[in-house]
Every structure is written in structure tokens, then in C-alpha cells.
Amino acid sequence: MKLLSGLAEGQVLQRIGQRGATAHLSGETRATGPVYATIAHAAGPVPGWKKQRVGEAARGRFTATLAGIPSGGPYRLTLVCNPAQHDAVARIRSFYVGDVWLLAGQSNMEGCGRMDGGAARPHPLVRAFSMRREWRQAADPLHLRMESPDSCHNDGAQHTREQAENARRTAQRGVGAGVFFAREMLARSGVPQGLVCIAHGGTSMEQWNPVHKKSGGASQYGSMLLSLRATGQPCAGVLWYQGESDTAAPLAAVYTDRMKKLVAATRRDLHQPDLPWIIVQLARVFGHRSETGWNSVQEQQRLLPAKIRNLATVAAIDLALDDPIHISATAFPRLAARLARAADRLVYANRKEVPPPALRSISPVKVEKITGAGTIDVTFDHVPGGLRAAGEPQGFALLDADGVPQPLIFKTTLHGDTARLHLVPGTRPGEVRLSYGAGHAPVCNLTDGRDFSLPVFGPLAFAPQEALLPFVTRWRKTPVVTAPAAPLAALPCPDVAAWPDATIATWGTDGFVNEHALWQSRAGHGYFAATLTLPEPMKLDVLTGYDGPFRLWLDGKPFYNALDGINPCFPDEGRKTATLAAGLHTLTVAMDLNNGAAWGFFLRFRRRDLTAAQLKSGDYARPGYDV
């Protein structure tokens, strides 16, 4: 008898719950009659598997079905047709029953960690289905593209066995997550683990596109199906690490759609409609990069579990690298442990394992009255043990409208499931968006008590859009008025335009009208005037900030008083709303120098009469400033 398909030496069969595994065997034999199977382990025959009738032989062929093989191994299989006839016995010296995982994606799944950095220790119960489609003990490097019979991996120049073994012996790179993951799953499940190796560095979603299925081994997707079908078995789940090749803006824009189609097609073609997927969110990349979609792909990967059922995303943003883009050999055990926890819950339904951390909410900004500093509370679900960091927590950023990080978060503190971001005074939440892991190479170090990293997210708007207008930075101003006509509280509106020695000055774009150099150690008043031209009627918030006694007149009439103003000065700490007609309006400011303690003021506006569509488009009229 010669076994041709259904079970190979060293194979791991996929168990189906408590029913064990099933293998459908076929082969050649000159014998005829019933086929009997004996499955044994080191202690003798497996209960119920001594000379079990499993099939028939006739006309030079035999078929057999081994159903309900219990988890475990190594097992020995003996098939017997008719002992009295020639060629009546076939044997498999060792096989296993446990869980089989598909390893797919790009180079970080293929494994590019340094071999001298700590390859995983092989285990006799962890097996690999190589790219040659042969079962062997799993050991790094797992993926050897040149040994594959499929042209998509090596342009048809397949290595001989001798060449492949030499490549394994001499590889300097090749540590990946696979063996570490399988050892973790073995420890959790107690059953043998199999790894089907089909990852290929540098491949894009287009190369994994299911529409190329008919190309067979000339496409990544076709090669994947050929490998899975060669095992004759279902699999427990898919481990997927890919996306680096899809971060150019046009490719990033369709990443979610392509992932939906890939997962759906895989489940359909493998006849496993609920096949679990555990994917890795892109980590970091160093160097000058032209791709603009790196954070977009990361954000889409974060959101995939809400769009594709039975899928979990694991973050890797905090892991060390062995080169500018590849996870370090020393970091793969951490990534493998995260993947194993996710698989334990998703595949084994272990509800003691909670999902990976997930963003729950971003609070409104809370402003501290004394300092003007603001705080944002960023709260996460699924962080057993609370948030933690080695050293100062890092990774959060506030980005402007162009996606550029701004130096607005001066401290991050951790409070259980919440990261509290402490903001520079005057931060306007409507002008920025929040991100964790912004850019290509951020420093991120927050994890939960299980060592799950927080996911990269954003940039996300966390405050309503607002029509915040520029600061008024050009004013006509007086010298220090050492003998004011009246105390500030009783002062009539000064006529700055008629003032002797009045000058015109412009201050910086930060908006602070800073007169400290002129006012320090002096007493008296300072007066300022500007004009506001409205192309249409407007409802405006007049936003002020000051560090001394302050008054504002609008069109010569008292509008805003803050006679108790003191240091420090923060933008927008004062607010009053005005409805103004189209045309020219005058602004007049007076400040008491407070014996040199006052430095200056801020003044700007916010439109309050716009529709949501206008706010979103930015297509609305703005006032003009002049003196």
C-alpha cells in the first residue's frame, strides 16, 4: 500500500472541538477488501483505534476516513488491507492532532529578526508546513521563499533540498513570531501546534488579491490556497501582518475594502465561514519616507474588528526593531504573547482573556482656573492591571490641520484605564486633532498589565468644529500714559488715532500683544486701537486674554471689563458675544500697567452663526483687520 494523500509524515491535523480530527486518506494498493487502521502512541494503541475498519481497497486504489482522532501525538498509523495479500500495509511513523495556523503577510510575518538575537527554541510538538509543502519541526527561519514550487515566491527558480537546507543553516535573519506564538499556544492548549508558512516580504494587497486565484502559484493568494489544500485540513486561524506596502495614499485609501474582500474570500474558499483572523497593526519605520498613508493604514487596522467579525487587531508600535522597519528578534516573544492572548479568546473562546486595549473616549478639555492649563482624559477599554509605562509616558500628540504635531502636551499622567494629557495654556481643541503614535517613527511606551500596547489611533477630532478667527496682531498704540485722565474703571473711550506720538506696531502670530519691554517697572495706562471690517452681518464671540486690568470698547461703547486681571495671561480666558452689522467697526483697548506687572493681551473672534456644512467646508466670510 502507498498512501498518496490525506496524511503526511510529521503532519498536524486540525482538531474540531471535542470531536478530534478527521483525515480522508487515499492511495494505491494491489490488495483488495476492507482497510483497517491502528493508531498508537508510546503507551500503545489509542483507545478505540485498534484495527478499526476505516475504508475499502479495490481496483488498485484504496480510500479511508479516520474520524474522531483525539488531540495529541506523536501518533503512529498502521493501515492494513488484507495481511494475506502482497502490498497490504502502509505506515505513518508520526503525526499529531492539535491546531494549525496560517502565517501570512509581509516580511514582519516572514520574520527578519537577527538569528543571533535569540531565535525561538524548537519544540517537538510544534511543527511547520514549509514553503516546499513538507512537514518538519518548526524552527527559524520558517519561511524560505526559494524552496517554494510556486513562481510568485521565486520566479520559478526553486531551490533544491540541499540548497534550502544550506540556506537554513547559514541564515543571518529569519526570527519571526511563528515559533514563539506556537509555543505560547501549546502552553495554553496542551495540544500540538502546526504552522503553515506562506508569508512573503514586500508583498502588497494587490498581490494577495483573491481575483488572482485562478493564477494558482503565480499569485500570493493562489499559493496560499494551494498550501492549505495540500494539508487536506481546515485551520484554527490566520495570523496576518501586512500593510507596509500599501501606505502610499492611493493604496491606503482602499485598504479596508481590500481586507474585507481578502477575509471573505479566504473564508469562502476554505469553507470556513467563521475562520478567525488575528492581525498585527503596523509598527514603526525609520528614514525619509514619501508615503503619506502610514497612519491611515494603522487607523484602518485598528477599526477592522468593528467591520469584520471574528477578527482581532494587536498593536506593535512599542516594539524594538532590528533595522529601520523590521521587528527585532528580542521583541518577537512579546508580539507572540499578544497574538496568543488574542487567539486564546477568539479561537479558544477563553473569556478570561479580554480583548486587546481599545479606545473608549476622549473627554472635552478641562481648564485649570489658576494656571490656564487644560487636561484631556483619554480612556481605554480592556486594560487589566491599568495603564503603565517604563519611564515618562510617551506617544500622544496633538496635530494641526496639516497633520503636523504641535508642542502642546507637556505631561501625561496615568490613572487606571485613563491617560490624562496636560496641555499648554491656550490650547484650542477645535484647532487640533489627537493621535497616539503619529508619524512614521513615534516613541510609544504605554501598555496594560498584560504587556498589550495601546493601539495607534487618529488623528481624531475630539471637539466640535469651530470658526476660530486669527488674532488681531496689528494695532495703533500709545506710549505709556503716565497721567491717565481717569482710573481705568471710569475712563472714557480713548481716541488713540488722535493721540500724540501714537505708532502702529505688529506682533507675532501667537497673538500676544507683548509690551513687557516698554511697561516693566512703570505705572500708568496703555491704549490700543484697530478696525474690524465685516463683509456681512456676523454673530461673533469676542475672545480676550490679559494679565492686568483690562477694558475693551466696541464702536466707542464699553463692551468688556476685567478690572481684576492679573498674571499670567492666557488666550481666550474672557468671552462675550456680539451681533454686528456689515461694515466698519472700531476696537479700543486700555490696560492698567499694574506697576509694571502687566505685559499685554490677546484678542480674536469666533463666528457663532455658521451652519455645520460651512464649518466643515471652511467656506464662509471672515472679517478684515486694520488700523
Percent of the chain with pLDDT strictly greater than 90 = 89
Determine whether domain 468-626 maps to CATH 2.60.120.
yes
Quote the distance between the C-alpha of residue 369 and its chain's center: 35
Give the lowest-confidence range in 163-177, 455-469, 572-586: 455-469
Determine whether domain 358-461 maps to CATH 1.20.120.
no
pLDDT-derived band at 368, boundaries 50, 70, 90: confident
Question: Contact at 8 Å (CB) between 372 and 573?
Answer: yes
Give the lowest-confidence range in 113-117, 235-239, 265-269: 113-117
Q: State the DSSP string of 35-76.
A: EEEEEEETTEEPTT-SSEEEEEEETTEEEEEEEEEPSEEEEE
pLDDT-derived band at 217, boundaries 50, 70, 90: very high
Question: Contact at 8 Å (CB) between 463 and 364?
Answer: yes
Q: Share the mean pLDDT of the chain.
A: 95
Would you say residue 17 has pLDDT above 90? no
Would you say residue 195 has pLDDT above 70? yes
Domains 100-346 and 468-626 fall in the same CATH topology? no
For residues 249-261, give the mean pLDDT. Answer: 97
More confident position, 269 or 85? 269
For residues 272-283, give the mean pLDDT. Answer: 98
| pLDDT score for 617 | 86
Would you say residue 88 has pLDDT above 90? no
pTM confidence score: 0.84
Task: Output the CA–CA distances (angstroms, integers) from residue 343 to 185, 299, 621, in the order listed.
Answer: 8, 21, 54
| pLDDT score for 448 | 98
In terms of Cα–Cα distance, which of 254, 167, 168 is closest to 206? Answer: 254
For residues 388-401, give the mean pLDDT. Answer: 95
Give the lowest-confidence range in 112-121, 182-191, 327-336: 112-121
Q: Measured between alpha carbons, how far is 508 from 473 in angstroms, rounded to an integer?
A: 7
Task: Output the CA–CA distances (angstroms, integers) from residue 96 to 15, 225, 226, in the order listed.
Answer: 10, 22, 21
Q: What is the pLDDT of residues 100-153, one digit of tens each?
A: 999 999 999 999 999 998 899 999 999 999 999 999 999 999 999 999 999 999
pLDDT-derived band at 223, boundaries 50, 70, 90: very high
What's the half-sphere exposure (Cβ side, CA atoms, 13 Å) at 461? 8
The three three-digit cell numbers of residue 622, written as one number? 471672515
In terms of Cα–Cα distance, which of 509, 519, 504 is closest to 474? Answer: 504
Burial (CB count within 10 angstroms: exposed 0-12, middle 13-18, buried 19+), residue 335: buried
Hey, what CATH topology would domain 2-97 get? Immunoglobulin-like (2.60.40)
| All structural domains of the chain with their residue ranges | 2-97, 100-346, 358-461, 468-626
N-terminal to C-terminal alpha carbon distance within the chain: 101
Would you say residue 319 has pLDDT above 70? yes
Question: May I ask the CATH class of domain 100-346?
Answer: alpha beta
Q: Measured between alpha carbons, how far is 476 from 503 in angstroms, rounded to an integer?
A: 6
Percent of the chain with pLDDT strictly greater than 70 = 99
Would you say residue 225 has pLDDT above 80? yes
| pLDDT score for 464 | 78
Q: Measured between alpha carbons, how far is 266 from 251 in angstroms, rounded to an integer?
A: 21
